[in-house]
Structures are given as C-alpha cells and as structure tokens.
A and B are shown apart, each in its own frame.
Chain A
Amino acid sequence: MSEERDTLPDFTFLRANGVAVKLSELIELDRTLLLFLRHFA
C-alpha cells in the first residue's frame, strides 16, 4: 500500500458457505474495522 489514504478495491471475498460477497456489501456503518487474520487456529 503506497499511502495511508489508499482506497481499497471492492474486493470479492467468500462467506463461510462459499458464496461470494463484495467488500462494499459488508460495510454497514460509517467506519469499518477490516481485520485481516493470520489464520483461524
């Protein structure tokens, strides 16, 4: 990431059931904490 005020692409993620979802569809509030995990263990 080149600078802090970067705008993220509208990434496509997968839900636990395998269904694709866009980042923009998950955003509910004015601010969102996007928490990237190392792993699920």
Chain B
Amino acid sequence: MPCVAHLGEVARNYERLRAAGIGVIAVGHAPPAIVERFVERERVPFPVVTDPNREGYKHVGLGRVSVWHFFRPRIVLNFLKLLFRGEKIRRLTHTEDVFQLGGDFLIDRSRTVLHAYPSRDATDRPSVEAILSWAAG
C-alpha cells in the first residue's frame, strides 16, 4: 500500500516532474500478468515494467525485511495514516514478496545514478518535492 500510494503521488505530479525534465519508470518484480492487472487498475501515465529476477533491486542494494519489521510502532502508525487518508489495502497475490523493499533513484540518460533513495522501511518514500530538489541540485 505505501508504495502504491507513492506511485499515485508521483502520477498526480507527473506533469510537474516532466516540466522539470524528469521522466518516470516504475519497476516491480511480479510476473507480467500482475503488472498488466495493475496497469489496467491504476492507469499511471508512465511505463510500468517488471524485474522478475530482481537484478535491478539487487544492484541498487534493495534488500528484504523480516515479518517483525511490520510490527514496529512507526510502521504500524504510517500504515494507519495511509488508511485514514483513504488508501486501500489490496490482496497480495502469492507471487508477490511483501518483504522486498523499494526505493527511488534519479538517473541520467547514461544511467548514472544522480541520487539514490533506498527505502529504510516499508513505508519510507521521498516526497515529490524532494525528488524535484534532487533534479534541481
């Protein structure tokens, strides 16, 4: 839920990002059929692709967390905040790994990483304002 909420925030600000010269590519790790359902449901204005072997995740150092991670007070509180904001809890398919962490990486045309933001926990994502500041800096 937190990363889909983040994706929604990025989608709502897509034109602002593009105006700042920033394109967006969303990467998951589920099978393509799950991506297809997601794209039909969310209709985000940028490419959504999948990395089933998680080569990209591994390369940028995105690890996995344990089940106990989700019982930390801060994580529980952040999930509750999202629920109060109206975000929905959707059922995971058995093909998805809830313990995988995500992250945001600003790269240039030659794929050099200009800014790396690996999520510290399951609810940790940068704001759109922060992403815009990375590009400005």
> Residues of A at under 8 Å CB distance from B?
1, 4-11, 13-18, 21, 23-24, 26-41
List the B residue with the shortest CB-CB distance to A33.
B24
**With a CB–CB cut-off of 8 A, which chain B residues contact A9?**
55, 59, 111
CA distance A26 to B111 in the complex (A): 11
Majority secondary structure of chain A interface residues (helix, strand, loop or mixed): loop
What are 15 A-B pairs at a CB distance below 8 A? A4-B116, A5-B112, A15-B35, A21-B47, A27-B23, A31-B23, A33-B10, A35-B10, A35-B26, A35-B102, A36-B51, A37-B7, A38-B2, A38-B122, A40-B28
Are B108's CB and A33's CB within 8 A?
no
Are B1's CB and A1's CB within 8 A?
no
CA distance A19 to B38 in the complex (A): 16
Are B49's CB and A39's CB within 8 A?
no
Categorize the interface residue count of chain B.
35 or more
**B85 sits at the interface (CB 8 A):** no
**With a CB–CB cut-off of 8 A, which chain A residues contact B110?**
7
Interface residues of B in 89-122 (CB under 8 A from A): 89-93, 96-98, 100-116, 119, 122
CA distance A36 to B34 in the complex (A): 15
List the A residue with the shortest CB-CB distance to B105.
A34
